[in-house]
Amino acid sequence: MINLYNVDCMDFMAGLPDKAFDLAIVDPPYKNEFKIVASDKAAHVKRDFDLRSLNNTVPNDIYFNELRRVSRNQIVWGVNYYPTYLGAGRIVWDKDNTGVYSDCELAFHSFSDVTRKFLFRWNGMIQGDMKYKEQRIHPTQKPVALYRWLLQNYAKPGQKILDTHGGSMSIAIACDIEGFDLDLCELDPDYFQAGKKRLEQHQSQPRMFAPEPPPKPEQLSIDPAA
């Protein structure tokens, strides 16, 4: 069951019992003011994303404490931007990227102090799986393949998943493919409707041929004291 909620995640979590979810996979905003312009070369247009829902919502200790209260384990993207120390475990998403944007994105994971890497190209119109190319509807959108890899390697069948900042809802599509129950919050009504429509379009497609599974994780060395 995939449940989508157009609500403030703090209000949603406040009504939950302790450890209501087995795993929280979240991608909160990490900057108060920034501008992202996405270029869709295939359509020969540029799109300015509406960033109003990303402003003034950078999570603090109250958010992270509540997240840890309602979930047994956590994966948090953007860990390198938050002043709150979450732990030593890391996931590196290597975007196989060139240009002005970051080559990688970092996430915290609560399972161990091990660092693992996922390689999937995400460079403008070039994506790691061009056969199932994704249309970008959100400035911080991540590929469905990334979330499938996270679920395959960090979640167990039958577990309940939480996402507090749904955005493009790539995780909802991944949970639908992989068979996980998900509760997802997205505060902005426009992004909520766009993400909901994206999920519905995915669910309406025939599933005679499923996308290729993501590759297994690559383990990197780590200094736990770093």
Q: Is 182 part of a structural domain of the chain? A: yes
Structural domain includes residue 217: no
At 17 the pLDDT is 98
Question: How many structural domains compose the chain?
Answer: 1
Rounded CA-CA distance 27/53 in Å is 13
- Tens-digit pLDDT profile for residues 56-80: 478 999 999 999 999 999 999 999 9
Bridge partners of 117? 92, 218
146 belongs to a structural domain: yes
How far, in Å, CA of 133 to CA of 152, rounded?
Answer: 21
Instruction: Using DSSP bridges, classify how beta strands 45-48 and 37-40 pair: parallel, antiparallel or unpaired.
Output: antiparallel
Amino acid at 99: G
Question: What does the alpha-carbon distance between residue 70 and residue 160 come to, in Å, rounded to a whole number?
Answer: 11
Domain membership flag for residue 144: yes
**Burial code of 190-202, b = ≥16 C-beta within 10 A, e = fewer?**
ebbebbbebbeeb
- Asked, for residue 96, whether it belongs to a domain, the answer is no
* Full domain range(s) for residue 201: 2-34+49-86+140-210
In a domain, 114, yes or no: no
What pLDDT digit, counting tens, does each position of 81-137 carry? 998 999 999 999 999 987 777 899 999 999 999 999 999 887 877 878 878 788 888
Q: Which residues share a beta bridge with 52?
A: none
pLDDT at 215: 66
Q: What is the pLDDT of residues 26-36, one digit of tens each?
A: 999 987 544 43
Q: What is the CA radius of gyration of the chain?
A: 17
Q: Is 82 inside a domain boundary?
A: yes
The pLDDT tens digits for 99-108 are 777 899 999 9
Express each pLDDT in 174-220 by its tens digit.
Answer: 999 999 999 999 999 999 999 999 999 999 987 644 556 666 666 55
Q: Is residue 148 part of a domain?
A: yes
The domain that contains 76 carries what CATH number?
3.40.50.150
pLDDT above 80 (res 225): no
Residue 42 above 50 pLDDT? no
Considering only CA atoms, which of 181, 141, 142 is closest in space to residue 160? Answer: 181
